[in-house]
Amino acid sequence: MERKSYSAGAVKMSFWFMEFRKVVSLLAEGKSLDEIKELNKEQNIFGAPTTLRSEQIYSTVAGRVHTLDESFCSVFLESDVASQKLFALVAVMAYDTLFFDFVYEVVREKMIIGSNSFADSDIRIFFKDKQLQDEKVAKWTDATLNRLGRCYKTMLFEAGLTDKGKDERKILKPILDPVMQRWLEDHDMEACVRALIGVR
């Protein structure tokens, strides 16, 4: 899995599961990403409120889909909704290295030590560490980091990985579908498997 430079772009993004599923379905029907882009321009297939938002959703969702090998489409479409949401989460992790690190270093670690929840203080500590490690992150404002933290919590909740606790989020450890797990392991994404199920 390719590591990209850290980005705070997630503050403008959502989990966009239904949109992700729509793009995968269209790809499975034989459309290319370019054709889906055109279709979105003509028909606003995501029902976005503005053209700008519509383009933003397409470019983010297409970017996430692009991080996965095309063979995932059939596995995704044959999976239940819970597994599809985990697949969409894996695509977010592959697309956004900082979010991947958060899931791997905070959520996974909590599961490993058996403390199945994380608090806002854990998010703050994570970002503080990243600011020490990375010059780019060091320049981000507290407002940006707070928004990123909120965005990460929302995505994990919408993917079914946590509850919606106010001060503390309970981690709902998923049971990975064996077909999905095998696909991830076969495509050099074992790190995502470890992140999701909380193993060393």
pLDDT at 160 (0 to 100): 97
Which 3 state secondary structure label does DSSP give 143? helix
Please report which confidence band the pLDDT of residue 167 belongs to, taking 50, 70 and 90 as the band edges.
confident
Q: Which two tokens stand for residue 33?
A: 């990403």
pLDDT at 33 over 90: yes
pLDDT at 133 over 90: yes
Q: Read out DSSP for 20-47?
A: HHHHHHHHHTT--HHHHHHHHHHH-TT-
Which 3 state secondary structure label does DSSP give 168? strand
Which 3 state secondary structure label does DSSP give 172? coil
Mean pLDDT of the chain: 97
pLDDT at 1 (0 to 100): 85
pLDDT at 53 over 90: yes
Q: Measure Cα distances from 19 to 29, 49, 99 in Å.
A: 15, 14, 19
Q: Are 95 and 63 in contact (CB under 8 A)?
A: yes
